Amino acid sequence: MGALILETMTWPEVEAEIRGGRETIVIPFGSTEQHGPHLPLGTDAMLGDAIGEAVAARLDAFLAPTVRIGCSSHHLAFPGTLSIEDDTFHRVVADVVRSVARHGLRRIVLLPTHGGNFAPLGAAVEKIGPLPGVKLVAFSDVGLLAEAMLGLGAELGIPAEEGGIHAGEWETSMMLALRPELTRMDRAEPGYTGSLMEGMQTMATRGTDAVAKNGIFGDPRRACAESGRRYVERIVERVLAAIDQA
């Protein structure tokens, strides 16, 4: 059957699908934030659109609109970045979850595609508490995303420092696969390519600009669309496996 795109449907169509046994919805959580001089501000949200739809298609689920503003305070030094506080994010998650649970959806998959949303999502779910008859599957460990990307990067011969964690090789490759018209490879340049752990600690405490003045954590110059398709497939596979285990 594939994914049902919620925002394109009418309410009677949604009601009929739920009554017919469609009980799962996938809700992606992206961001609007800087991604270096070569990627658009909506990169994480666009990845949420595509990865969310692929996951929903495999689950025969509804796909909710991607939440397009997230917890991005570490990028606020760069113009165009939009950010909400953790408490605001918690309330958004709770309100959206309760909305869909009210209408009879019994499995709700919360899928971040922005690193800064993972930990706040875990806290949000704890605050929601139990919802009788509803199974929440929330991806709150950024390690799942990092493992998928860095693992495949190693298979492709991309060092972890080049793949990076923000606007580097793997994220740029995915955008070349999904939205090439918005990917400015003529502006791609290396950013911070030092220790991932040290860089992440600095970014978390002092902001991304303290790590890289161009906002790039990695080196996107070897990005390509074929690698991007493989990265997307790897993420979808890992997400589906985790949902099955849940």
pLDDT value of residue 149: 87
Query: What is the rounded CA–CA span in Å between residue 193 and residue 211?
Result: 10
Contact in structure between 49 and 111 (CB atoms under 8 Å)? no
**Other Cβ atoms within 10 Å of 12 Cβ, number:** 8
pLDDT value of residue 101: 96
Return the structure tokens found at 209.
């600009």
**pTM for this one?**
0.96
Return the structure tokens found at 46.
């666009």
Specify the residue for token string 């606007």: 167
As a dihedral over the C-alpha atoms of residue 211, residue 215, residue 217, residue 220, rounded to 10 degrees, the angle is -150
pLDDT value of residue 199: 92
pLDDT value of residue 227: 97
Query: What is the rounded CA–CA span in Å between residue 41 and residue 118?
Result: 19
Per-residue pLDDT for the chain (246 aa), expressed as one digit of tens each? 689 999 999 999 999 999 999 999 999 999 999 999 999 999 999 999 999 999 999 999 999 999 999 999 999 999 999 999 999 999 999 999 999 999 999 999 999 999 999 999 999 999 998 899 999 999 999 888 888 888 999 999 999 999 999 999 999 999 999 999 999 999 999 999 999 999 999 999 999 999 999 999 999 999 999 999 999 999 999 999 999 988
**DSSP letter string, 81-136:** -B---HHHHHHHHHHHHHHHHHTT--EEEEEE-SGGGHHHHHHHHHHH---TT-EE
User: What are 5's strand-pairing partners?
Assistant: 63
Query: What is the rounded CA–CA span in Å between residue 32 and residue 30?
Result: 7
Question: Could you give the strand order of the β-sheet that contains 62-63, starting from the edge strand earlier in sequence?
Answer: 4-5, 62-63, 24-29, 107-112, 135-138
Contacts of 12-20 spanning 24+ positions with Cβ under 8 A? 14/62, 14/103, 15/103, 17/62, 18/103, 18/104, 18/105, 19/104
Extended beta strands in the chain, E state: 4-5, 24-29, 62-63, 107-112, 135-138
Contact in structure between 80 and 67 (CB atoms under 8 Å)? no
pLDDT value of residue 142: 87
Of 104, 98, 148, 149, which Cα lies nearest the Cα of 127? 98
Q: Which domains does the chain have, with CATH numbers?
A: 4-245 (3.40.50.10310)
pLDDT value of residue 130: 85
Q: Which residues contact 128 (CB under 8 A, 6 or more apart)?
A: 93, 94, 97, 98, 136
pLDDT value of residue 144: 82
